[in-house]
Structure 1
Amino acid sequence: MMNLAKKQILILFFILSFSISCLNLKAAAETIDRVVAIVNGEVITLTELNEAVSFTLKDTEGTINFDGAEKDPAEIKRKVLDRLIDNKLIEQETKKMGIVVYEKEIDNALENIQKENSISRKELVEKLESKGLSLEKYKEQIKRGMEKMMLVNREIKSRVVVNEDELRKYYTENMDSFKVITEVRVQHILLSIPPNADEAKIKDVYEKARELLVKLSNKEDFGKLAEMYSQDISLDSGGDMGWFKRGEVTPFLEKVVFSLKVGEVSDIIRSGLGLHIVKLMDRKEEGVRPFEEVRDEIKDTIYVKKVEKEFKEWSEGLRKRSFIKVKL
Structure 2
Amino acid sequence: MTVSITDVARVAGVSASTVSRALRGRPGVSDEVRAQIAAVAGQLGYTASRSASSLASGRTFTIGVVAPHIGRWFFGTVLDAAETVFSAAGYDVLLYNLGSPEARKRFFTRLPVRKRVDAVLSLLIPDLEEEEALRSLGVPLATTVGGARDGFTVVGIDDHAGATSAVRHLVNLGHRRIGMISGESEPLHWTTPIARRQGYLDVLAEAGITHDPALEADGGYTVEGGERAMTELLAVSRPPTAVFAQSDEMAMGALRALRRHRLRAPDDVSVIGFDDHELAEVVGLTTIAQPVPAQGAEAARLLLRQLDEPVAEPAPTGHVRMPIRLVLRETTAPPSPRSPL
Task: Provide the TM-score with structure 1 as the length reference.
Answer: 0.24
Task: Provide the TM-score with structure 2 as the length reference.
Answer: 0.23
Q: Which has the larger radius of gyration?
A: 1
